[in-house]
Homo-oligomer: A and B are copies of this chain.
Amino acid sequence: MTPITDFQQMAARMKGRPRVRIAAIEAHDDHSFSALLRAMQEGYADVIFVGNKDLMTSHEAALAPHAGHYEIVHGADVDDSSAKAVALVRAGKADLIMKGIVNTDNVLRAVLNKEHGILQRGRVLSHVSVMKNPAYDKLMFVSDVAVIPNPTLEQRVQMIRYCADLCAKFGIEQPRVALIHCTEKVSPKFPVTLDYEAIKQMAGRGELGNVVVDGPLDLKCAVDAEAARTKGISSPVAGQADIIIVPDIEAGNVFYKTMTTFSNTELAVTLVGADCPVCVTSRADEEQTKYNSLLMACLSAGR
């Protein structure tokens, strides 16, 4: 499979595949609904709308042409709807979860529920952003800008594994992983750099699968070969990173917000680590980001 290098290719890649079954929680608001409708129209998704049935009535006309590809399941309230969506995944009747007009906290409570949830013991829920900027000829898989505040070594390893799994769905067989830090020096003054050393050793022993890992690298050197050369850095990752592992949520959040505020970047986000992707875009996200995120979740959940 040729690697996917932008969002247009992602949509093309879904053509002709079995439809992905989406459990959509309270997705009666216009933004969520139109993203789901588009996914049905493009032929790659079936949708189970879980939520307040009455609030779906305004969408009846739009849904009519898709008979057989959608279903409506009533939820008594947002917690009930969230629990029912999670139950659909556990029962093998849905391949991914999408959040509509409901707080992320409600969805996460159902996902993380010890008895009825979908996070396996020993796994951690994490956040991946996929970005495409015109200045870089690859997609960037970035983790974790939103969920894990100060990752432990184990969590960093899981973040890399999740991103690598996602890369595989995009046809990127041997992703290059940049471990981001403000310099290239390993120093006990910055404990994150000691984690990075340990991760490189694990990668060297083949424990992280088919990935090429290097770091600490600064963000510019990770994606700009010329900058790395100027700094005298020779690295199999510099200038060509697929996966960007940020040191912590502060740096990650600044990266995400800077890209979305000051650069022309297309993006998709998803929660990973649970039994299926959980698509939790927020009100602040742009229309196109919501659609891209749904598309990415479908691609990564695809059967």
Contacts and interface: CB of A to CB of B under 8 A. Distances in A.
Interface of A: 133, 135-136, 146, 149, 180-182, 189-190, 192, 218-220, 223-224, 227, 230-231, 246-255, 257-263, 265, 283-284
12 contacts: A149-B190, A182-B254, A192-B250, A219-B258, A220-B260, A220-B261, A223-B261, A224-B261, A246-B250, A250-B250, A251-B253, A262-B263
Contact of A262 (B135, B149, B257): B135
Nearest to A253: B182
Number of copies: 2
Contacts of A249: 182
B227 A284 contact: yes
Contacts of A223: 261
A181 to B, nearest CB: 7
The 5 closest A-B pairs by CB, nearest first: A182-B253, A219-B257, A262-B263, A220-B257, A250-B251
Contacts of A261: 135, 219-220, 223-224, 227
Given A182-B252, A227-B284, 10 more contacts: A181-B250, A182-B249, A182-B253, A231-B284, A246-B250, A247-B250, A250-B250, A250-B251, A255-B255, A262-B265
A108 to B, nearest CB: 15
Nearest to A283: B230
A230 B135 contact: no
B260 A258 contact: no
Contacts of A218: 253, 257
A284 B250 contact: no
Nearest to A140: B262
A179 to B, nearest CB: 12
A258 to B, nearest CB: 4
A158 B143 CA distance: 32
B189 A149 contact: yes
Contacts of A149: 189-190
A284 B230 contact: yes
A7 to B, nearest CB: 17
Nearest to A247: B250
A80 B133 CA distance: 46
Contacts of A224: 261
A149 to B, nearest CB: 7
A219 B253 contact: yes
A300 B192 CA distance: 36
Report which residue of A227, A257, A258, A265 has the largest number of chain B beta carbons within 10 angstroms of its beta carbon.
A258
A262 B219 CA distance: 11
B257 A259 contact: no
Contacts of A255: 254-255, 258
A219 B265 contact: no
Nearest to A131: B262
A224 B190 CA distance: 32
